[in-house]
Structures are given as C-alpha cells and as structure tokens.
Amino acid sequence: MDSKQFREAAVASIEHIVKYYDTIEERGVASTVEPGYLRKLLPAEAPQEGEAWADIQKDIEAKILPGITHWQSPNFTAWFPSSSSYPAMLGEMYSTAFTGAAFNWICSPAVTELETIVLDWLAKAFGLPTCFLSTGPTNGGGVIHGTASEAIATVLVAARDKYLREATAHLAGDEEAREDAMALRRGRLVALGSAGSHSATKKGAQIAGVRYRSVPVHAADGYKMTGASLRRTIVELRAKGLEPFFLTATLGTTDTCAVDDMDSIADVLAELGRASSPGFGEKTDGAGDIWVHVDAAYAGVSLVCPEYQHLARGLSRFHSFNTNLHKWLLVNFDCSLLYVRDRAPLVDALSVTLPILRNSHTDSGLVTDYRDWQIPFGRRFRSLKVWFVVRTYGIEGLRAHIRRHVGFAETFAGLLRGRPDLFEIVAGPRFALTVFKLKGSEGATLEQQNELTKKMYETILAEGKIFLSSTVVGGLYAVRHNPATPFVEEHHVRKHFGIFVEAAEKVLPK
Ligand code: PLP
C-alpha cells in the first residue's frame, strides 16, 4: 500500500467507523455467533497474492462485525465499560505512525517525557498525594501499563523482591548465602487480597510464585475489607509460619464497587509491621512491611471530580495505586496508569543492563527508562491518546462525563426503589454501578430467590435488547447495571428499567 492508497483507504475506514458509531444503537448489542463461526467464513490458507483494500474492508462488515459485541452501545451495561473516544482513536493512529519499541528515553525522548508529564497532570487532577508525582518528595512517579492485571503483577514482583532483600540484608556481601536464604524465605510468602478483590492479584501471586490468601468481607460492612478482618488474617497466617508481604486494597471492587476501609487497613499494618515480623529489625516504615497496592481499576478515575477526592487523601500511607483510563475515562483500550511512591523497588526488581542498552543519558541518571518499570521490554506510545483526550475534553469535560453516569445510576436506583414489590438493591448505586436482585417472595429459600433472579437475567440476555452481567455476593445471586458507556442517555436507562420490569413480571410467581 503506497501513501496515495493509504489516504484513500484511511478515508474509507474513517467513514465506516463514524457510520458504525452513529448507528451503533441499531445493532443488537451482543454478538450471537456460535463458537468457531469465523473459521467457516475465512479461507483455510493465507492469500498468496495481496488483495485490494476495498475487498478487505468489505469483510469487516460481513465477517468481523457479526462477532463483535458492541461495548460502546448505550445498551451495554455489563462488567465495567471499556470506553472510547475519537481523540483517543487519533492518538492510537499517531502512536502507530511513529511506531517504535521505546524501551529507553533515548529510543524516542517524547514517548517517555510526554508519559511522565500526563501522568503528573492526572495525579494532580485526581488529587493524589504528592508522593505519586515524578517531582514529589519520595522518588515516586507514574507509568502507563496495558492493564491493571499487568500493573498489579509488576508491583507484586517488586514487593516480593523488596521484602526478600530486606529480610536477608544481614547476609549482604555473601551473595550465594543470601540467594539461598531468599529462596527458602520465598516459600513462606503470601500475597493478600480480599474476597472482593479482582482475580488480578491471585494471578499476580501465581506469576510471582507465592501463595495467595483472601481476607473475608461481610455484607454488614458493605462488602469492604476492614482493618479488623485484615488483622485476623495476618495473625492467623503468621501463626502458621507464613509471611504476608503484599496486599491489594480495592477502591471500587468489581462486584459491588465497594471501597475498602483504607484508614483502618493502614492503622493495622502500621501496628503489625516490621517489629513483629520475624527476621526484621526495628519498624522503619509507617505502612509496615506489607506493600499495599490500591487497585482502583474502574472507580479511580472518579477522583477527577472533587466530590470523590476525599478517597485519595489517605493513599500516601500506601505504596502504589492503579486506575484504568480505558475503563471509564474515554481512553481506548489499553491504558492503565500505575503510580508508585518510590520507583526504586520497581527498578531494583526489573532492571536489565545489557551492554547494548548502555547510553550516556541512562548513565547520567537524568532520564527515566520505563523499561525498568514494567515486565515487557518495548513499549507503546500510549501517552499520546491520553494527552489528546485530556486536552480535547479538559478536566471539566472529564468531570462532566463521570457525573452524567453517576446521575444515570442514581436515576436507575430510584426507579428500582419505586418498585419494592419487584426489586431489592444489594449494593449501590456507587460509581454508577447498581447491584440488585428480585424481591424474594414470602418464605422463599435463598436458592429459590437466586434461581428467580438468574431466570430474569437469562430472559433479558436471551432477548438481546441490553447486555448485562451477573454476580454472586454474600451468597446472593444479583445482576449488575452499569450505565457508563459514552453515548448512554437518561432515556436509555429508563428503557433498561422497563426491560427489567417486564422480565421480572414474567418470572416472578403470580
Ligand atoms: N481490578 C478491578 C477492580 C477490576 O474491576 C478489573 C476488571 O474489571 C481489573 C482489576 C482487571 O482489569 P484489566 O483488564 O485492566 O487487567
């Protein structure tokens, strides 16, 4: 494809994409294809000769779109959103035009420098403590990872190595003995999450080769992790000779958008810190020995609104924080921001110093080489799409985006409350998520109630007018409604409610 053909193909593609977005509501929201549908439509072998763009493009509509679930549709209320905007798409386009591996500052200085600048902009816009700024007092800063899972696995590895280095500091100078001691000790390490944590922390523990244990949460606490529950778990684990070294606390859990009790968690960890952990000397760190990562993958971006920023105030007591711009803040997938209070443990755990990478800028110590802040070596120019989105919407525009969805969820919850004969809210509305179930009839067992809610959920999915997800919290089967896609309007939310009412009346016993 030469530049003339590229221009024509790009114009045709943009026309198609704009039409797709303008008419997205007319399409059934969820794909209904059967597994293996695409193999039946595509040839078994790659083409020997190149094909014309017009022929390739035709197959988008005919073969790919049937297998696409329309995440940007106003009728998509499942999981969390994966939001999209035109400025972010332009950012992706430029990013791929300038494509490169960009592992070091010298690879393309703008890639590193723009990333540091936009991450500082957003840390300030979110009201994060100054320790997470690249210019802050603790050598901290931010980096863009692909996903929250990647960010969590990365800090878990950094935390593991920091813990083991500190636990074996007395063997410094005898590296073999230290390595043996670290290997032995590694077998006792435990990463913690709560029963409400996303599976990303468990997966991170699997990757890091350590145990994972979950701190119980209770309906009476609104499904949030509390310091008291955490204390019990740590004490029990230590009594068995195990060593908790990492904890994920969540700001906006996946099931119910609960916010863990950050203050009591920090207090408990300060109290149960280094002094009481075997092999360590005096307590030196206010947060204790356990590295606390705050996972705010979905709800974290709400901090752009001052009314949520009280949630950020205590975060300086923790070690790291992540939030996904690709969920709720109009930056197309993938874009997960990771902030650390101190960059040194990341770099210590992940630094590679091959001779081929040596350059005077790295040696000067004046530049950031983000390859040492992540698991992959090369990296994409993701900050461009962030820059475009922030400049196009402005912080006020981003606040308006969040507030619209929060308002829609309030409306939806109000409608649910208006039909106590049909529905019961299990959690929320919080951060634009409402979790609810069907009203249990007199004398119905939990299983019978769960069965009915499940039937309502399946009825709605089968009709295909809206797409939603279900969950089980505290033994209750419930459905989640999260109207947070870019084009959703209040009339959609009212329509969704009508669909729930119709399905509820269909499945509830007369
Ligand atoms: N953490 C939380 C709280 C989530 O809700 C999710 C996904 O919904 C994740 C982590 C995983 O996100 P990612 O796909 O970016 O790894």
Give the containing element (helix H, strand E) for 144.
strand 141-145
Task: Please report the atom of ligand 1 found closest to the CA of residue 146.
Answer: 15
- The three-state secondary structure class of 469 is strand
Give the containing element (helix H, strand E) for 457.
helix 446-463
CA distances to 10, 16, 48, 61, 291 from 54, rounded to whole Å, are: 11, 12, 18, 12, 53
Cβ-contact 112, 384 below 8 angstroms = no
Nearest CA to ligand 1 atom 14: 147
Q: Does residue 323 line the site of ligand 1, with CB under 6 A?
A: no
Report whether the peptide linkage leading into residue 334 is cis, meaning its omega lies within 30 degrees of zero: yes
State the Cα–Cα distance between residues 139 and 126, nearest whole angstrom. Answer: 19
Q: Does residue 335 line the site of ligand 1, with CB under 6 A?
A: no
- One-letter amino acid for residue 249 of the chain: A
The interface predicted TM-score of the complex, written ipTM, equals 0.98
Q: What is the pLDDT, as a whole number, of residue 363?
A: 67
State the Cα–Cα distance between residues 111 and 86, nearest whole angstrom. Answer: 21
Tally Cβ neighbours within 10 Å of residue 475: 9
Residues paired with 14 in a beta bridge: none
Q: What is the pLDDT, as a whole number, of residue 287?
A: 33
Reading the block at residue 435, the tokens are: 């979790």
Q: Does residue 157 line the site of ligand 1, with CB under 6 A?
A: no
Q: Which of 405, 383, 424 has the alpha carbon at shortest distance from 482?
A: 405
Q: How far is the CA of 480 from the centre of ligand 1 (A)?
A: 16
Q: How far is the CA of 277 from the centre of ligand 1 (A)?
A: 31
Residue-wise DSSP of 354-370: -GGG--HHHHHT-S--G
If phi over 0 gives left and psi between -120 and 50 gives alpha, with beta otherwise, what is residue 295? beta
- The three-state secondary structure class of 445 is coil
Q: How far is the CA of 325 from the centre of ligand 1 (A)?
A: 11
State the Cα–Cα distance between residues 210 and 212, nearest whole angstrom. Answer: 7
Burial track 402-423 (b if 16+ CB lie within 10 A, e otherwise)? bebbbebbeebbebbeeeeebb
Q: What is the pLDDT, as a whole number, of residue 285?
A: 40
Task: Please report the atom of ligand 1 found closest to the CA of residue 336.
Answer: 15
State the Cα–Cα distance between residues 88 and 209, nearest whole angstrom. Answer: 36
Q: Does residue 482 line the site of ligand 1, with CB under 6 A?
A: no
392-397-399 Cα angle (round to 5): 140
Give the containing element (helix H, strand E) for 249.
strand 243-250
- Kindly give the confidence (pLDDT) of every residue in the chain, 510 residues in length, as a single tens digit, with 9 standing for 90 and above: 999 999 999 999 999 999 999 999 999 999 999 999 999 999 999 999 999 999 999 999 999 999 999 999 999 999 999 999 999 999 999 999 999 998 888 889 999 999 999 999 999 999 999 999 999 999 999 999 999 999 999 999 999 999 999 888 888 899 899 999 999 999 999 999 999 999 999 999 999 999 999 999 998 999 999 999 999 999 999 999 999 999 999 999 999 999 999 999 999 998 887 544 555 544 444 334 899 999 999 999 999 999 999 999 999 999 999 999 999 999 999 999 999 999 999 999 998 776 676 777 776 677 888 999 999 999 999 999 999 999 999 999 999 999 999 999 999 999 999 999 999 999 999 999 999 999 977 788 999 999 999 999 999 999 999 999 999 998 999 999 999 999 999 999 999 999 999 999 999 887
> What domains does the chain contain, in order, with CATH numbers?
105-380 (3.40.640.10), 391-507 (3.90.1150.170)
Task: Please report the atom of ligand 1 found closest to the CA of residue 197.
Answer: 3
Report whether the peptide linkage leading into residue 429 is cis, meaning its omega lies within 30 degrees of zero: yes
**How many CA atoms lie less than 13 Å away from 167 in the CB half-sphere?**
26
Kindly state the DSSP code that residue 433 receives in the 8-state scheme.
E
393-399-402 Cα angle (round to 5): 110
Residues whose CB is less than 8 angstroms from the CB of residue 236 and which lie 6 or more positions away in sequence, other chains included: none
Q: How far is the CA of 366 from the centre of ligand 1 (A)?
A: 33
Tally Cβ neighbours within 10 Å of residue 114: 17
Residues whose CB is less than 8 angstroms from the CB of residue 467 and which lie 6 or more positions away in sequence, other chains included: 29, 30, 69, 73, 75, 76, 77, 78, 461
Tally Cβ neighbours within 10 Å of residue 307: 12
Q: What is the pLDDT, as a whole number, of residue 30?
A: 95
State the Cα–Cα distance between residues 494 and 368, nearest whole angstrom. Answer: 49
Q: Does residue 134 line the site of ligand 1, with CB under 6 A?
A: no
189-194 and 243-250 as β-strands: parallel, antiparallel, unpaired? parallel
Q: How far is the CA of 152 from the centre of ligand 1 (A)?
A: 10
Cβ-contact 106, 401 below 8 angstroms = no
Alpha helices in 303-421 (DSSP H): 325-328, 344-350, 360-364, 383-417
Tally Cβ neighbours within 10 Å of residue 439: 17
The angle that helices 200-208 and 148-167 make with each other, rounded to 10 degrees, is 50
Tally Cβ neighbours within 10 Å of residue 50: 8
Residue-wise DSSP of 176-208: HHHHHHHHHHHTTEEEEEETTS-THHHHHHHHH
Cβ-contact 405, 330 below 8 angstroms = no
Q: How far is the CA of 227 from the centre of ligand 1 (A)?
A: 23
Reading the block at residue 110, the tokens are: 């703008």
**Which among 197, 324, 337 is the best mutation to test ligand 1's pocket, defined by most ligand atoms within 8 Å of the CB?**
324
